[in-house]
């Protein structure tokens, strides 16, 4: 997977580039597509007939997984929280792909997943479970590869990005980028904008994914090195996960009008707005900036009548 890096314009006196993960050519792309492509490589090597995963009706991850399962004629079962099950473009696509969706109260999700997997196995089925959001070392690996693409772009063009911004949620996108940066021996320059979690929890979740990836792949970096490489900012969460915010809405309208690029209010709009605030608050000028557009295009359409 190789996504384009494009120069989009100057913001706060900084030349701004964007890595278009939203243009991964599968099911509206996004970081969940990059992760799912790797999960399905493993699924295709094994003997599975059902994919089970977790996510709400807004989930980009569930849409992509349901699409890949349908293309293989595999059954896809999605366990979702009752609290977030309103109809969205993603949930309509999950239905289009024939995914079986079970919603339960959020505190019953864990047990329901275990029970579903046990029932499937008892019935002679061969389920493969993907954690919500494509969490786990495979998801992290997808973003180690993404970082490598950025480094290769820099080598081949002679450009160098001083700072790299992106939305940080369940942690594997962020963790993979940090692992890629450290493996490549590059100086710290990644800034993850939290879209929901506060510190220290948000940061710790990313840290756990980093530790797990390094342990599984035989790397041993010191605690201090990892801490230095891990920047997780919780200053731009606004009112929390999935909530609307005037500053974010106005950034979404601006980026669509100015650059013709859709952002959404849950992830990329929040991260883009956080990036602009960070540059301004820290008086950063003339530095070359890369924003990683992590996708979520169907959410842009959900947002369209709210922003």
Ligand X SMILES: *Cc1c(COP(=O)(O)O)cnc(C)c1O
Task: State the residues that interact with ligand X by CB under 6 A.
Answer: 30-32, 60, 133, 167-174, 267-268, 294-296
Q: CB-wise, 120 or 177, nearer to ligand X?
A: 177
Q: How far is CA 171 from the centre of its chain?
A: 8
Q: CB-wise, 170 or 229, nearer to ligand X?
A: 170
User: Shortest distance, CB of residue 195 to ligand X, whole angstroms?
Assistant: 7
Whether residue 21 contacts residue 34, with contact meaning beta carbons closer than 8 Å, is answered with yes
Nearest-angstrom CA–CA distance, 40 and 68: 8
Q: Using CB atoms within 10 A of its CB, is residue 47 exposed (0-12), middle (13-18) or buried (19+)?
A: exposed
Q: CB-wise, 52 or 299, nearer to ligand X?
A: 299
User: Shortest distance, CB of residue 172 to ligand X, whole angstroms?
Assistant: 4
Q: What are phi and psi of 100, to 5 degrees?
A: -95, 120
Structure tokens belonging to residue 289: 């900036």
User: Shortest distance, CB of residue 175 to ligand X, whole angstroms?
Assistant: 8
Q: CB-wise, 241 or 254, nearer to ligand X?
A: 241
Q: CB-wise, 131 or 186, nearer to ligand X?
A: 131
Nearest-angstrom CA–CA distance, 131 and 170: 11
Q: Indicate the angle between helix axes 172-183 and 137-157, nearest 10 degrees.
A: 50
Q: CB-wise, 50 or 59, nearer to ligand X?
A: 59
Q: CB-wise, 127 or 134, nearer to ligand X?
A: 134
User: Shortest distance, CB of residue 146 to ligand X, whole angstroms?
Assistant: 11
Q: CB-wise, 56 or 173, nearer to ligand X?
A: 173
- Between β-strands 100-104 and 232-233, what pairing exists: parallel, antiparallel or unpaired? unpaired
User: Shortest distance, CB of residue 205 to ligand X, whole angstroms?
Assistant: 9
User: Shortest distance, CB of residue 115 to ligand X, whole angstroms?
Assistant: 25
**DSSP state for residue 158 in the 8-state scheme:** -
User: Shortest distance, CB of residue 179 to ligand X, whole angstroms?
Assistant: 13
Burial 55-89 (b: 16+ CB within 10 A, else e): bbbbbbbbbbbbbbbbeeebbbbbbbbeebeeebb
Q: What is the DSSP string of 164-215?
A: EEEEESSSHHHHHHHHHHHHTTPPP-EEEEESSPPTTHHHHHHHHHHHHHHH
Beta bridge partners of 290: 17, 164
């Amino acid at each position: 997977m190789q996504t384009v890096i494009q120069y989009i314009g100057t913001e706060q006196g900084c030349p701004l580039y964007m890595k278009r993960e939203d243009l991964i050519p599968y099911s509206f792309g996004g970081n969940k597509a990059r992760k799912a492509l790797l999960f399905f490589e493993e699924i295709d090597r094994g003997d599975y007939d059902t994919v089970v995963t977790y996510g709400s009706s807004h989930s980009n991850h569930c849409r992509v997984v349901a699409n890949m399962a349908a293309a293989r004629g595999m059954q896809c079962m999605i366990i979702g929280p009752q609290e977030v099950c309103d109809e969205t473009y993603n949930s309509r696509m999950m239905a289009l792909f024939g995914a079986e969706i079970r919603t339960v109260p959020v505190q019953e999700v864990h047990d329901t997943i275990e029970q579903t997997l046990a029932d499937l196995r008892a019935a002679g089925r061969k389920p493969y479970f993907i954690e919500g959001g494509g969490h786990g070392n495979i998801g992290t690996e997808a973003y180690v590869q993404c970082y490598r693409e950025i480094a290769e772009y820099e080598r081949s063009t002679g450009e160098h990005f001083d700072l790299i911004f992106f939305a940080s949620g369940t942690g594997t996108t962020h963790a993979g980028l940090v692992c890629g940066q450290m493996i490549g021996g590059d100086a710290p320059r990644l800034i993850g904008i939290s879209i929901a979690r506060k510190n220290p929890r948000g940061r710790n979740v990313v840290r756990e994914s980093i530790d797990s990836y390094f342990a599984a792949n035989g790397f041993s970096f010191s605690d201090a090195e990892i801490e230095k490489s891990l920047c997780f900012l919780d200053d731009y969460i606004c009112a929390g996960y999935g909530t609307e915010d005037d500053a974010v809405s106005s950034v979404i309208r601006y980026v669509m009008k100015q650059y013709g690029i859709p952002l959404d209010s849950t992830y990329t709009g929040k991260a883009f707005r956080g990036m602009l605030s960070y540059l301004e608050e820290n008086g950063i000028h003339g530095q070359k900036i890369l924003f990683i557009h992590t996708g979520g295009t169907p959410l842009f359409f959900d947002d369209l009548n709210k922003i």
